[in-house]
Structure 1
């Protein structure tokens, strides 16, 4: 069982950010594990939460019960997610989960509306993290490997609320059994960002995400699933036909996009970054199934040859690519392939690692600057994600990771990337998009995801690294999850 004092780096994590010390959570965990199947989690947790009287915060009402009163925001400066400057003298009206209007002046408020004067502060869209792991961000790997799914989901609910209060109203989940968890958030059982789920990451034997003990080797194709596969964290494949099966399974469960693992990774000690672990035929099979379902596949790849293979197989997006070279960058630009990359700079961003994991992390740190410079040089469509894993203290650095982009981008470019640009990447899921409204912008008809910032992030992007003090209002779907304005 997870305990705050048992972090991998030996440090203690504040009890204020951890659910494990709450007795009602312990009871809820036991109820879930004793009585619920994985597929029955969402229905059961609602009854368990009600029975325990467990408060999950201001957003715990059912999603269908939208904000009863319209909300009118006045006296603010606006960053709309697209422009490079702030706009003044505006009002904004929210009805239900959408922005009804944005206009100049201060017209009469709708009948019964709640009016909020923002004191001249900046309103911006809720931010989007394009590479997140909803169930894996805040728990150590050794705890996840125990497979206590009831506890994992309850702990993830606490992290989801913290993610939302950091200003991230939407995430793209790049691997993990997040389907039931997404439904719980959508149903209002627990507050959190909306989730674009990939489901299990699709990896080959020995590839990144294959965390089987060696006692499970050899694998028999068509045989019993490994523990990791049973939890829905990963699917191990070794042929185009197996990939087609596993990709279809994720899409059947509601995946908005598919994640294929083309090569090695940092957190898998037996798969160094130079590996290319899926053949072009295997990658192409996954890409084609995603295309048949009118969505897209993104490929985890670091090394140049792995990225190039993903491009040749038709991938619409590549995750990471920190080791790419000039030839690879030009190929991405020529083919219009998206780059979803994380600005990892040092062990502050990953925690202290040892052995093969540390070797891989040092390679990533060394390649980050070159990868971003190549992305800028060749005008590659670039998304930002944080990819925080296995540590609640690291998850708190989500906004700090965004500020790392100042090495290569202006503050306006950073804010645009974390809002409207990331939203464009999410829109590649087409009819598989679980949230087809406009995201990452503040305009009429868009989802009402708003942040009120105490300060000007166009001048000081570091404000977003300190959300507890700098974010005075956090709104998602027209519902206010935080309001720290003094009345």
Structure 2
């Protein structure tokens, strides 16, 4: 009887505690006297006040807002803007390719990813779309508060055909894929990539990633510069394979993104309904017009056509002339995308040791201002346009609300900045230094408050 009474008491206490927790009012944070960049307009809304309740922005007003029960942050004329979004990163490929392939295991890259994630957030990136790698556990542990980092949109292992951009076996490895009894590459073994051929294998790979928690699917639809055996001009995956991947993703309410560079490949992808084109440097203006008409996104890492890329200490001397020539030939790529109203999203897409990736990310912010005609367009790519792209994940979207904007009802991913990023991109970390930048991570001092999902992770004004 005592045991039964004790259990009943425990149940009553638990239920009472749960009821009290449900009735507890949401936390409130009031940003006073801020100039708001809303992620959409090429101007600041001056002398505004923004109230956050729980994880939502509930009021944006030019008039004073009641502050009862709220933590007050006096912006004193600083800029309040949306949290930044990286549309294409590889949080789990956090060492050089050869090191990952030959000398690391899943434990190594998982441990290193914790530091990568924290530094992303401390650079103001509140959401990151991971475009290839086993980032599922990292995303879960960030979401449940065990690890500090941005909201992760994991793709899972990128899906490649044999001989494709995700087939990282050496020449000496067995000539068959694992499906035919061959050995797995380390990339496949760790879940960074998956080699699949034919509709049944592609469907299996897509569905496995969705089962594991993918918010979108990443396929390799063309060659690349970082893999040895697939020329960059090649088209990869047949129409049937691409369409099968798109249909399987759509069955889960989400979409397919594709690594791609050429007209032929992009048009095949559009025929099947692929939504985002990763890179895309070598496409024609006709294809750009089609991309705009169909509402697809282009997600290019613009450092890929930067003359500074040739200064990379890891760049083989034999490739330097090609890198310089491509940078010159496609120097107007960004200008043409804007001319044809293509939706463009920011991408850092640097793989390698974390310090190199961090320097590349900050350089990329600045370099894009040179290629897209100014700061405003790049800020949109980092905020509202990227938020629109993330929303394509539908029910798989970990953010249950609008991202990339400062408006009533949007999720409270917010940065308070000393300075005006519309005039000076360095206040959010943009810098023309890359390989000659400080070799170790340094905080961005002008980034004084970082809020993600209504939670403050940095506040130097306290």
TM tier, smaller: 0.7 to 0.9
Partner of 1:142: 98
2-structure distance, mates of 1:249, 1:360: 38
Partner of 2:267: 308
- Which of these residues, 352, 362, 365, is aligned with residue 399 of structure 1? 362
Please show how residues 263-274 of structure 1 align to structure 2 within 5 Å: 263-274=222-233
Partner of 1:288: 247
Partner of 2:338: 376
Taking a change above 3 Å as real, the CA distance of residues 432 and 363 of structure 1, as seen in their structure-2 partners, is farther
Partner of 1:172: 129
Is 2:28–2:54's contact at 8 Å kept on the other side of the alignment?
yes
Partner of 2:454: 478
2-structure distance, mates of 1:360, 1:163: 31
Is 1:269–1:356's contact at 8 Å kept on the other side of the alignment?
no
Taking a change above 3 Å as real, the CA distance of residues 189 and 391 of structure 1, as seen in their structure-2 partners, is same
1-structure distance, mates of 2:107, 2:321: 34
1:5-31 CA distance string (max 9 Å, x none) = xxxxxxxxxxxxxxxxxxxxxxxxxxx
Structure 1 position 367, deviation (Å) = 5.0
2-structure distance, mates of 1:143, 1:264: 22
Taking a change above 3 Å as real, the CA distance of residues 349 and 288 of structure 1, as seen in their structure-2 partners, is farther
Q: Secondary structure at the match of 1:266?
A: coil
Structure 1 position 380, deviation (Å) = 1.3
Structure 1 position 184, deviation (Å) = 0.9
The count of aligned residue pairs is 420
2-structure distance, mates of 1:232, 1:426: 23
Is 1:202–1:260's contact at 8 Å kept on the other side of the alignment?
yes
1-structure distance, mates of 2:347, 2:331: 16
- Which of these residues, 16, 28, 41, is aligned with residue 83 of structure 1? 41
Taking a change above 3 Å as real, the CA distance of residues 104 and 334 of structure 1, as seen in their structure-2 partners, is closer
Structure 1 position 89, deviation (Å) = 2.5
2-structure distance, mates of 1:387, 1:362: 19
Partner of 1:386: 348
Is 1:351–1:394's contact at 8 Å kept on the other side of the alignment?
no
Q: Secondary structure at the match of 1:169?
A: strand
1-structure distance, mates of 2:58, 2:293: 39
- Which of these residues, 57, 61, 64, is aligned with residue 103 of structure 1? 61
Alignment of 1:203 onto 2:160: yes
2-structure distance, mates of 1:266, 1:355: 14
Structure 1 position 148, deviation (Å) = 2.2
- Which of these residues, 422, 437, 440, is aligned with residue 401 of structure 2? 437
TM-score where L is the length of structure 2: 0.85
Is 1:343–1:368's contact at 8 Å kept on the other side of the alignment?
no
2-structure distance, mates of 1:410, 1:108: 37
Gaps of 5+ in 1: 1-63
Partner of 2:238: 279
Structure 1 position 387, deviation (Å) = 0.6
2-structure distance, mates of 1:200, 1:359: 32
CA RMSD of aligned residues (A): 2.4
Q: Secondary structure at the match of 1:216?
A: coil
1-structure distance, mates of 2:318, 2:270: 27
Is 2:58–2:408's contact at 8 Å kept on the other side of the alignment?
yes
Alignment of 1:409 onto 2:373: yes
Is 2:155–2:218's contact at 8 Å kept on the other side of the alignment?
yes
2-structure distance, mates of 1:348, 1:163: 25
Q: Secondary structure at the match of 2:253?
A: coil
Taking a change above 3 Å as real, the CA distance of residues 102 and 338 of structure 1, as seen in their structure-2 partners, is same
1-structure distance, mates of 2:252, 2:138: 23
1-structure distance, mates of 2:311, 2:88: 14
Alignment of 1:453 onto 2:417: yes
Is 2:202–2:241's contact at 8 Å kept on the other side of the alignment?
yes
Partner of 1:30: none
Structure 1 position 316, deviation (Å) = 1.5
2-structure distance, mates of 1:328, 1:161: 38
Alignment of 1:231 onto 2:195: no
Structure 1 position 219, deviation (Å) = 2.4
Taking a change above 3 Å as real, the CA distance of residues 435 and 399 of structure 1, as seen in their structure-2 partners, is same
Structure 1 position 465, deviation (Å) = 2.1
Gaps of 5+ in 2: 1-21, 431-442
Which runs of 4 or more aligned residues in structure 1 lie more than 4 Å from their structure 2 counterparts after TM superposition?
66-69, 348-351, 355-364
Please show how residues 352-363 of structure 1 align to structure 2 within 5 Å: 352-354=314-316, 361-362=323-324
TM-score where L is the length of structure 1: 0.81
Is 1:129–1:171's contact at 8 Å kept on the other side of the alignment?
yes
Partner of 1:52: none
1:409-453 CA distance string (max 9 Å, x none) = 332222122101100011111122121211111122221111111
Structure 1 position 144, deviation (Å) = 2.0
Q: Which moved more, 1:342-351 or 1:391-400?
A: 342-351
2-structure distance, mates of 1:195, 1:404: 25
1-structure distance, mates of 2:329, 2:121: 30
